Structure 1
Amino acid sequence: MENPEGRLTKLALKGDQRAFAELVELYKDKIYHLAYRMLNNRHEAEDIVQETFLRVYRNLDRYDDKQKFSTWIYRIGTNLCIDRLRKRKPTFSLDAEMNDQEGVDGYSLIPSDNVTPETELLLSETQRLIYEAIDSLPVKYRSVMILRYLQDLSLQEISDVMDIPVTTIKTRVHRGREFLRKKLGPKM
Structure 2
Amino acid sequence: MNADSDLEDIQYAARAGAGDTHAYAWLVGRHQAAVHRYLVRLTGAPDAARDLTQDTFLRAFQAIGTWRPEAKFRTWLFRIAHNLALDYLRRARQWRRFVPLDDGLEVPDPAPGPAARLEATRDAQRLEAALAALPPAHREILLLREIEQMSYEDIARMLDLNLGTVRSRIARGRAALLAILRR
TM-score by length of 2: 0.81
1:8–1:22 contact (8 Å) kept in structure 2: yes
> Is the alpha carbon distance of 1:112 and 1:135 closer, same or farther for their aligned partners in structure 2, counting shifts above 3 Å?
closer
Q: Decide which of 13, 30, 34 is 1:9's aligned counterpart.
A: 13
Question: Structure 1: which 5+ residue stretches go unaligned?
Answer: 94-108
Offset of 1:154 from its aligned partner? 2.0
Q: What residue number does 2:124 align with?
A: 127
CA distance in 1, matches of 2:95, 2:8: 41
1:78–1:143 contact (8 Å) kept in structure 2: no
Specify the SS of the correspondent of 1:67: coil
Given residue 56 of structure 1, which amino acid in structure 2 is its aligned partner?
A
Q: What residue number does 1:36 align with?
A: 40
Superposed, 1:78-97 pairs within 5 Å as 78-90=82-94
Offset of 1:59 from its aligned partner? 0.9
Deviations 1:14-55 (A, max 9, x none): 111111111110110010111122122221221121111011
Given residue 129 of structure 2, which amino acid in structure 1 is its aligned partner?
E
CA distance in 2, matches of 1:170, 1:10: 32
Specify the SS of the correspondent of 1:3: helix
- Whether 1:147 aligns to 2:144 is yes
Offset of 1:61 from its aligned partner? 1.2
- What percentage of aligned pairs have identical amino acids? 26
Q: What residue number does 2:73 align with?
A: 69
Deviations 1:81-107 (A, max 9, x none): 2332333344689xxxxxxxxxxxxxx
CA distance in 2, matches of 1:61, 1:110: 42
CA distance in 1, matches of 2:112, 2:96: 34
Offset of 1:172 from its aligned partner? 0.8
> Is the alpha carbon distance of 1:75 and 1:62 closer, same or farther for their aligned partners in structure 2, counting shifts above 3 Å?
same
Question: Structure 2: which 5+ residue stretches go unaligned?
Answer: 98-105
CA distance in 2, matches of 1:174, 1:126: 22
CA distance in 2, matches of 1:133, 1:117: 24
Offset of 1:66 from its aligned partner? 1.5
> Is the alpha carbon distance of 1:110 and 1:49 closer, same or farther for their aligned partners in structure 2, counting shifts above 3 Å?
closer
> Is the alpha carbon distance of 1:157 and 1:57 closer, same or farther for their aligned partners in structure 2, counting shifts above 3 Å?
same
1:135–1:142 contact (8 Å) kept in structure 2: yes
Q: What residue number does 2:167 align with?
A: 170
CA distance in 2, matches of 1:40, 1:123: 23
CA distance in 1, matches of 2:119, 2:45: 23
Query: Which of the pair has more CA radius of gyration?
Result: 1
Offset of 1:74 from its aligned partner? 1.4
